[in-house]
Amino acid sequence: MTKSKLFVKGGCPFSYKFIIFLNEINKLEDFEISVAHADEPSYEEITMYILDKSGQKASFPTVETDEGIFLVGSDELISHYSEIYNKRRDDIKMLNYWEKNMMPRMRSVIKQLREANEKIASLS
């Protein structure tokens, strides 16, 4: 059986969320994982691969199925694979913890970084 390809971005909370889901249902090994790291060649290689193969700008996480279909979005992927693996999202405790506790914190940090970068840019 050919593994689906999972493309994630290092430091991306949405990528982490999908990896947590797969890990908690013991299906992480069903995927060949490629990590795009900002400021490294892997980022451009992966984003160009996704663009060339799918015709869409890269979004993380992305799954390329063994049929060559590209699926995106952590919530959409979790819903899709919940059905395939017959796992209820609400039963996955670590995923629930991540969504209720860590995601809001990560969003806040990302927002603060964006605002700081905008302020720095406006000063120059």
Note the pLDDT tens digit of each residue in 5-17: 999 999 889 999 9
Report the SS3 class of residue 8: strand
Residue 104, phi-psi category: left (phi > 0), alpha (psi -120 to 50), beta (remainder): alpha
Note the pLDDT tens digit of each residue in 15-31: 999 999 999 999 999 99
Contacts of 28 (CB under 8 A, 6+ apart): 19, 22
Residue 61: what pLDDT? 97
What CATH number corresponds to the domain at position 56?
A: 3.40.30.10
- Residue-number span of the structural domain to which 80 is assigned: 4-123
Residue 8: what pLDDT? 97
- For the cut 90, the answer to whether the pLDDT of residue 54 exceeds it is yes
Instruction: Please state the domain count of the chain.
Output: 1
If you average pLDDT over every residue of the chain, what do you get?
92
